[in-house]
Amino acid sequence: MILLCLVFMLNDHPDAAGFNRAGSDAKAVNLAEATMKAMGGYEAWDQTRFLRWNFFGRRAHVWDKWTGRIRVETDDVVILMNVHNREGKAFKGGQPLEGAELEAALVQGYEMWINDAYWLVMPYKLKDSGVTLKYVGEQTMEDGRTADVIQMTFEDVGVTPENKYHVWIAQDSGLVEAWSFFETAQAEEPRFMTPWANWKKMGAILLSDDRGKYKHTDVAVYAALPDSVFESPAAVDWSTLVAE
């Protein structure tokens, strides 16, 4: 009995502080927990530290999940900051920004990271703070397979809490294979729908880089990265760093 309880605890997917379990459907919550296991499990996600990706060729990100440090590169601007306290530094053409320019760059870096990270790791955040989950029902995907669709709404989190998503979890794979975006929780028709395709194992978890018309590139998980990635605007020689 003790061993069984231990196994259950290790495989459990705890609610984030502030997740609206009371207002969520039990079936939707169960689906969120099941897809977490399909991607490698909560423990694997929790122990994954460094993520790197390029958001649709527009900007490059590196994220230290454990400390909140990020590196964002867009055009000739490099932003090095911590998303927990939103403090940091920024450089344009290699020169440090100061005053109002620095403040604007840090706001921009934070908002870019919020948006772009969601496009990479949303399935791992189904039970985040401020989230309410509702079961929508079964739907047929474009390839004829059946998915369970759950709805995500938000309260007092992120930079666009008025948004709503429908998340399509394929019944055969258990993975998120599409999502629909609604500009408001009251909207009846989505503004767009994209696939979540090309799932691959990276480190101990699965990640998807294919959103149909757009693709993430340079997606990788690292067990260790030098502090200079988050402290220096100098270009990183990624060929010398080994991904998991």
Residue 36 lies in a domain: yes
Residue in 205, 105, 101, 111 with CA at minimum distance from that of residue 158: 111
Q: How far apart are CA 57 and CA 39, in angstroms?
A: 25
Residue 2 lies in a domain: no
Residue 66 lies in a domain: yes
Contact call for residues 61 and 52 (beta carbons, < 8 A):
yes
Residue 8 lies in a domain: no
Residue 5 lies in a domain: no
CA distances from 2 to 5, 42, 43, 193 (A): 5, 21, 19, 45
Q: How many domains does the chain fold into?
A: 1
pLDDT 10s digits, 191-219 = 999 999 999 999 999 999 999 999 999 99
Both structure tokens of 123? 């399935």
Contact call for residues 229 and 236 (beta carbons, < 8 A):
yes
Residue 32 lies in a domain: yes
Residue 1 lies in a domain: no
Q: Note down pLDDT in tens along the chain; length 244 residues.
A: 443 343 334 447 899 999 999 999 999 999 999 999 999 999 999 999 999 999 999 999 999 999 999 999 999 999 999 999 999 999 999 999 999 999 999 999 999 999 999 999 999 999 999 999 999 999 999 999 999 999 999 997 666 677 899 999 999 999 999 999 999 999 999 999 999 999 999 999 999 999 999 999 999 999 999 999 999 999 999 999 999 9
Residue 129 lies in a domain: yes
Domain ranges, residue 26: 18-240
β-pair type (87-92, 59-64): unpaired
pTM: 0.92
Q: Which CATH number is 151's domain given?
A: 2.50.20
